[in-house]
Amino acid sequence: MSEQALDMDAVQHFAFKVVGDVTAQQMGPLSTVGDRLGLFTTLAASGPLTSADFATRAGINERYGREWLSAMACHGYITYDDATKRFRMTPEQAFVLANPESPLYLIGALVMAQPYWANIDLLAAAFQQGGGVPQERFGEHFWCGFERFSYTFFRNSLVQEWIPAMPAVEARLRDGGTVADVGCGNGQALIILAKAFPQSTFVGYDSYPAAIAAANKNAQAAGVSDRVRYEVCDVTQGIPGTYDLITTYDVVHDMPHPRPALGAIKAALNPGGTYFVLEFNFFGDLQQNIDHPLGIGAFGYSASTNYCMTQALAVGGDGTGTCMGEAKMRELAAEAGFTHFQRRDFPSNPFNIFYELRV
């Protein structure tokens, strides 16, 4: 193609978009180091600091600290005052990067990318040969990051908004109901529910043994292991017992075989029981995700390729993918035999869609 055929303004605009993406990749390790060494929390707690004062407080080498601060300031993660040569975090920046109690604390998501690069050879092979990257290849840093990412939603919304939106469910839990969380991971959601509803009993199921071991330790540490337990279970083979409430949080699109799993969930509900589903707020249609009002379409497809879809395909699953959308969820629910399907949206959490299902 000749140079005359090109719109060079458009070329440069696109080139700088790519440079921005390269920058975001390079910032990933710096964000991970910042989290691991407590650099964000140090700056947020200290107020405006020179790089030398920051390095002293953080207990790090000043030259590295100065370069880290400079990168973060250029990237907009912290703020720099040239007149005083001091760095600080605004309340808004700290709310997202340095406050683990915040509903928008996103450090956990930032540090999850490390295994994506570690698995790049396996992923490239899957592109060529099919199959995928198995779940066990993602490791502790990935799961710890995901736990921290999801915990903020559970802590700030689960018993404050989500359960109260279903009055019959809330009443049952106060009276002493039974709850199962399918795909429970490290178990944080059930621990929060157990503390809020001391009359109820809870069990979490997951097919990943490492997650179950961590979940039982978490329940023990939280002092709720008398009412909360976790078990390794392939739910496609059936779910032990019956329950008043079954939940899946960001799980259905990850399931290798969602159809038998949802059938088992329906079979395990008590009469009048509820299945509560959380999924990412994506569409099932590509153009709608390109035009997504939150601008997160690429996040969905890239997360899917790097983890959600590939780990399902690795075990011969459907590979539904992160951008499942409401229409696919309705399809799966109808095939499983659910006759009541209600979508719920919570303005405080635009990242997720919620569904309340009953037979």
The top-level CATH class assigned to 3-97 is mainly alpha
Residue at 33: amino acid letter: V
Cα 103 to Cα 90: distance, rounded to the nearest angstrom:
17
The pLDDT confidence band at residue 5, using thresholds 50, 70 and 90, is confident
**Annotated domain spans of the chain:** 3-97, 157-358
Average pLDDT of the chain, as a whole number: 96
The stretch 1-30 carries a mean pLDDT of: 90
Write the pLDDT tens digit of every residue in 230-288.
Answer: 999 999 999 999 999 999 999 999 999 999 999 999 999 999 999 999 999 999 999 99
Write the pLDDT tens digit of every residue in 93-141.
Answer: 999 999 999 999 999 999 998 899 999 999 999 999 999 999 999 998 8
Cα 201 to Cα 193: distance, rounded to the nearest angstrom:
9
Tokens of 306: 């790097």
Write the pLDDT tens digit of every residue in 277-330.
Answer: 999 999 999 999 999 999 999 999 999 999 999 999 999 999 999 999 999 999
pLDDT of residue 140: 87
Would you tell me which CATH number, out of the four given (3.90.45.10, 3.40.50.150, 2.60.40.1190, 3.40.50.1000), belongs to the domain 157-358? 3.40.50.150
